[in-house]
Every structure is written in structure tokens, then in C-alpha cells.
Amino acid sequence: MSLALAAPEAHVVDNDPAQVLLAAQDAGLLTYLGFVRGNQYEVEAGGRHWTMPAAEVLLTVPRLRLVDEIARAGAELELVGIGDDGSYTLRLALKTIVLPEQDVIHWCQGFRAAFIGNGQQHTGVDTMGQIADLLERPDVNDQCRMVILGLMYGGDRTITSIQLAEMIGRLPGVDAAPVKKTITNALGFGRVLTDEMRELMIAAFGLRWVVTAGNGTYDSRGGRPAGRVAGKAAAKPLPEMPALARLRELVEAARKGWLRYLDRESPNEARRRMEYQLSIGSQQYTVNADALPAWLRGVRAFHEVVGGRQAAGPA
């Protein structure tokens, strides 16, 4: 398989939707069928015929263009179709991939980064050590923190440190709510966590730790707290803090040699990051936290599908 993808191309940005659509049509990305009343534009692309507002035009065309660029580079990537819900169905070699429309750009960017950097040594100094140690070999207190952080940030609504302090203050037998700094310090990985604070924090969620001996019984397979608590929520898996889930994915990708993590090594800083500094080959990338899961899926797709086919050699 011949792969040749350069660094991202610079496209002239035109905010006139009609001109954007005409340029996309010239590039073979879609068929522009004309302007419709109400500032709508009628198009056909990926087997879908629909009308879209101006704002959607300026989101849709870059997605189509990026898929096309990767396909033209020889990655055996094909747009199979666009669903009525906006999802994109891609075929990569023989594998079918379905992406929500908001993930298409990020997935393609991750795929392209792996594509460009394939076979190169990653630039920069790896700083994943402490983060990997925390996630792969957490002590009991840090496992408890992971459970609490998951309950705070992984559910349907976010619970802040101030709100958790107020919840603790409403528990029976508690005279006054702890101050925010007390909660923040207790949730810091590697810091002191007293037995009393550990019990108060889990009790605030209507749960309790399952104590069998010493500090308790926990399931730490793979470093992931598995909800070894009792109470009304114990029957279902406990949520994980999204930031920790992202860091797990980064650790896995780094372990596989797919990228290098370049930010400061502190796990406490890492879980608060809004973006990550990474390198793949000779290129460095700044990846937004919300975009990271789709970006890493693109990296994974390259290595597991395209990279695997390269390693296998010609059929």
C-alpha cells in the first residue's frame, strides 16, 4: 500500500455558503442543487439529499474535504454515506466506521496525524510516567478518589467541590460543612486523605465503602475502581470522571507507541487540562479535551487497520 499524506493543506476560507458549496462541487465532494428560501441550501452528498442552513454548510464541507484528502492520499478511505441523523459511514479498507457528525473532523485529524507520523520517532520528552503509575497502580486512597471524582463529574450532572461540601454538611451528625479547600485537598491524588473524610465523601452520595479489613475491599483490575461500595447505587457500575477516562486512553496509546505525551507530568494538573500537547512522529499537536476521544479513535483506526495491513504486506 502506498501512503503519502502531507501536512494539512491550507484552504481559502470563504464565508459565503454558496461559494463554499460551488468550490466543494468543483472538487467532487457534493452536488449543489441551489438556494432555497429561508437561507437554506439544497445539496446531495454521501447518498443523502437535504437542505441545510448556512451554518451547517460551513461545518459540512470541511468534513467532506478532510475525508476526501485522506482518501486521495491512498489510505483506502471511502465515504459510504451520510445518514439522516447526520452520521457519517466510512469504509477504511474492509472495516466500516460510523461517526457522529461532530466527531468526523477530530477522527480524521487523529487518523491523519498517525498517517503522517507513521514510522517516525516521536519528538519531545515523554512525561506520562506519574500519570501511568497512578492509573495502573493506584493505592487505596487514590482508588477512593477516583470513585468520588466519577460520582462528581461522570453522572448526568456535575457536582462541584462546593456542592459536595454542602452535601456533607447535611449528613446526620455533621455539625458544619467542610470548606472548599478541604474537599479540594482531599481529592488531590497522592495527598493525605483521612478515614473520616473518605467516609463522609462517599456517604454524601448515599453509599458506603465495603469494609472487610483494614481500609476496605476494592476491585482495582486495570487500575479502575469498579464500584466496590454498598447502597442504593451499588447494583450498577459507577461512572468514571471523563478526564480520567481520557488519560487512560492516552496512557494506552503511549504504551502502544502511537504517540508521546508532552504536558507536565502531574496527574492533578492533567485531570484539569482543557487541551493536551502530544507528538506523533516529528509533528506536535494541541488536542482539545472534548475532541480527544474521537481524535484517538482516528489514531487507533490507522494503526489497527492501515498499519496492520502494511505489516502484513501485500496479499
- Residue pLDDT, tens place only, 64-73: 999 999 999 8
Distance between CA 82 and CA 60 in Å, rounded?
Answer: 11
313: pLDDT strictly greater than 50: no
248 pLDDT exceeds 70?
A: yes
Question: Measured between alpha carbons, how far is 298 from 92 in angstroms, rounded to an integer?
Answer: 11
Q: What is the mean pLDDT of residues 279-307?
A: 96
Predicted TM-score of the model (pTM): 0.85
pLDDT higher than threshold 80 for residue 194: yes
pLDDT in tens, 105-132: 999 999 999 999 998 999 999 999 999 9
For the chain, list the strands marked E by DSSP.
Answer: 31-36, 40-45, 48-53, 77-82, 88-92, 95-99, 207-209, 229-231, 260-261, 275-280, 283-288
Q: How many CB atoms lie within 10 A of CB 297?
A: 17
Question: Looking at residue 15, what is its pLDDT?
Answer: 82
Q: 63-86 burial by CB neighbour count: b if 16+ within 10 A, else e?
A: bbbbbbbbbebebbbebeebeeeb
Look-up: residue for cell 439544497? 42
Share of the chain above pLDDT 70, in %: 84
Give pLDDT, residue 215.
39
pLDDT tens digits for 205-230? 998 887 443 333 443 333 334 344 44
Residue 10 has pLDDT above 90, yes or no: no
User: For position 100, what pLDDT does the model report?
Assistant: 98
